[in-house]
Amino acid sequence: MAATPAIVEKGEEEEHPLQTGWSLWYDKKMPKKIDVGTYQSNLQKIATFSTVEDFWRHYIYVKRPSQLSRDVNLYLFRDQSNCAPMWEAFPQGGCWILKIKKKANVLGKMWQDLVFAAIGEAFEQLDVVGIAVAIRSKEDMLSVWNADNSDDSTRFAIGEKLKEILMLDSNTLVEYKFHANSIRDMSTFRNAKPYVFAAATPATANEARIGSQVY
């Protein structure tokens, strides 16, 4: 189960601050070849919050994935300087990707679990800068963005947490793509590297590890 938002209690009448502020953004899929300025102008920030209570004030009005039009992207990113849902903001980073078939009817629950996990710091990594849901014609995508890939262990720890939060089984295929590659081919999802969750070894009996890359 995804963690509920972490809070720091200061008093019964005070609001409960999140570890960092967060912003909700949305945009619509654009033609493949556009410049950064055009992409930025298409991005719309729709809400910013920094407490549990303020999150709920906004979240109750945000459309759920089933209510979003095709080719719409919804993002939840930390409210920090230069922290926007753009590859160029995190050129050393990348994102984990989970593709979900339309008929599965699980996207709404998964997205909500991911939202709660992000603002509740369930990933246990400040390197996680945002999450996104992308609505497409044949399948939808969830993604978890991280800022810096200088430490592979951090990147794979985020992938492991994604498995735990969404309760993915060992047959689930996940993908990862470096933003540097996205900048080159102008796609968040195309040509991402697929991975499967490897079975635990005796030395890691109660754990699952992201293992063999699938070619």
In a domain, 3, yes or no: no
Q: What is the pTM of this model?
A: 0.87
**Residue 167 located in a structural domain:** yes
- Tell me, yes or no, whether 30 lies in a domain: yes
CATH of the domain at 117: 3.30.760.10
In the chain, the percentage of residues whose pLDDT exceeds 90 is 75
Residue 24 lies in a domain: yes
Containing structural domain, residue 148: 17-213
Q: Would you place residue 98 in the very low, low, confident or very high pLDDT band (cuts 50, 70, 90)?
A: very high
User: Does pLDDT of 96 surpass 60?
Assistant: yes
Q: What is the 3-state secondary structure (H, E, C) of the chain?
A: CCCCCCCCCCCCCCCCEEEEEEEEEEEECCCCCCCHHHHHHHCEEEEEEEEHHHHHHHHCCCCCHHHCCCCEEEEEEECCCCCCCCHHHCCCCEEEEEEEEHHHCCHHHHHHHHHHHHHCCCCCCCCEEEEEEECCCCEEEEEEEECCCCCHHHHHHHHHHHHHHHCCCCCCEEEEEEHHHHHHHCCCCCCCEEEEEECCCHHHCCCCEEEEECC
In the chain, the number of structural domains is 1
User: Does any domain span residue 41?
Assistant: yes
Judged by average pLDDT, the poorest of 8-12, 51-55, 79-83, 157-161 is: 8-12
Q: Taking all residues of the chain, what is their mean pLDDT, rounded to a whole number?
A: 89
126-153 pLDDT, tens digit per residue, is 999 999 999 999 999 999 999 999 999 9
